[in-house]
Amino acid sequence: MQSSTVSAQEPAVAQPAPIRRLLSLDTLRGFDMFWIMGGEEIFHVLAKTTGWAWAIFLADQFTHVDWNGFRPYDCIFPLFLFLAGVSTPYSLGSRLAKGDSRSMLARKVITRGLLLVLLGIIYNNGLFNKPIAEMRFGSVLGRIGLAGMFAQLIYLYVQRERARYGIFAGILLLYWALLMLVPVPGYGAGNLTMEGSLVGYVDRLFMPGRLYKVVHDPEGLLSTLPAIGTGLLGVFAGTILRQHGVRDAQKLRQLVLMGVACVVLGWVWNVVFPVNKNLWTSSFVLVAGGWSLLMLSLFYWIIDMQNIRRWTFFFIVIGMNSILIYLAERIIDFEHTAHFLFNGILHFFSEPVQAVGAIVAFLAVKWGFLYFLYKKNTFLRV
């Protein structure tokens, strides 16, 4: 990993960030990352300090479902993985068209995937701060690294698009079969509780260190399998958008139809295989992926088709350094900086204004940091 100054050349193959010809992708990535970096706290603070019904409702939507079910906030993480998949036909496809070998591209993809796993471990535990038994090895970055890596390898080596769709369907059906048919000692087959699922059992057997929820890790081993499907959905969307000789309206129609079909099929499947983010169930892949497709469709229509772009800059600054700001939260005390700069001003306002203002100041400091890097043409390359 290195910080580099981005020139006008094509972005590195393994980097799912800036793709200039598809502004909606960088904007949507930045929009997604805005909530990850703390944007949802605005609604939580408003709900707590004012008691307004609409604020309470929105704050609830920006929380994860305890187990089965789905809220908008459950889409934040899979959307990021989906967008990494969308960039694949642009980055890898352009390199293949230039004559780069698949083996060379595969090495870069694998290196990036494993590096993200390593960064995820460091993000969770720091450097040499804990004994292995106390470390958590599952991570958001690890899930993005491994699932994105396998999705990209499928794109590289499975050249027929119909075969890729077949692999996608096979992954979801295989995962369903594993969870419903393979018995777990003491719980039997088909148990989808945190303690009794095959996902948690595999994590307890094979994952070193500690699990995030003691008996289960939401970024564990077995649930990486369906996450590959999330990455592949992004690959399918990117392939549609990269089609040559196809009108934008036709591309948009394909994305919308695919998104609606995924959401509907996912909720139908929910009847026998619940939508569950912790288990990353096949039905969850479809529901979260469907909404990701629909959000991409909306951003593509507004930005790339209607050319309404002035509002995008705020999110592009975030989206072009999304992994950097995620990692920086562990190293830089943005909250302390925001308090130092703005607390004196906020002190003159009422408690609700102070609380919301503190969150806005915190986000402003983060954005200012990213803007400085943007102006310097400096982006984190993984």
State the number of CA atoms in the 13 A half-sphere of 212 facing the CB.
13
* 358 vs 1: CA distance, rounded Å: 33
- What type of residue sits at position 169? A
**How do residues 65-115 score in pLDDT, each as one tens digit?**
999 999 999 999 999 999 999 999 999 998 998 999 999 999 999 999 999
- Category of 332 on φ-ψ map: left (φ > 0), alpha (ψ -120 to 50) or beta: beta
**How do residues 221-243 score in pLDDT, each as one tens digit?**
999 999 999 999 999 999 999 99
Strands 2-5, 378-381: parallel, antiparallel or unpaired by DSSP?
A: antiparallel
Q: Which residues pair with 340 in a beta bridge?
A: none
178 in Cβ contact with 284 (< 8 Å): no
- Residues of 296-322 as b/e, b for ≥16 C-beta within 10 angstroms? bbbbbbbbbeeeeeeebeebbbbbbbb
Q: Residue written as tokens 């300090």? A: 49
346: pLDDT strictly greater than 80: no
Single out the residue of 153, 108, 106 nearest to residue 14, CA to CA: 108
Confidence at residue 224, expressed as pLDDT on a 0 to 100 scale: 97
Burial of 103 (0-12, 13-18, 19+ CB in 10 A): exposed
* 178 vs 175: CA distance, rounded Å: 5
Confidence at residue 21, expressed as pLDDT on a 0 to 100 scale: 60
* 198 vs 280: CA distance, rounded Å: 12
Burial of 265 (0-12, 13-18, 19+ CB in 10 A): middle
Please give the DSSP secondary-structure letter assigned to residue 72: G
CA distances from 214 to 74, 135, 211 (A): 21, 12, 5
Q: Residue written as tokens 């990269």? A: 242
- What type of residue sits at position 132? I
* 74 vs 310: CA distance, rounded Å: 28
Single out the residue of 252, 236, 277 nearest to residue 78, CA to CA: 277
- Category of 307 on φ-ψ map: left (φ > 0), alpha (ψ -120 to 50) or beta: left
**How do residues 137-196 score in pLDDT, each as one tens digit?**
999 999 999 999 999 999 999 989 999 999 999 999 999 999 999 999 999 999 999 999
What is the percent of the chain with per-residue pLDDT over 70, rounded to a whole number?
95
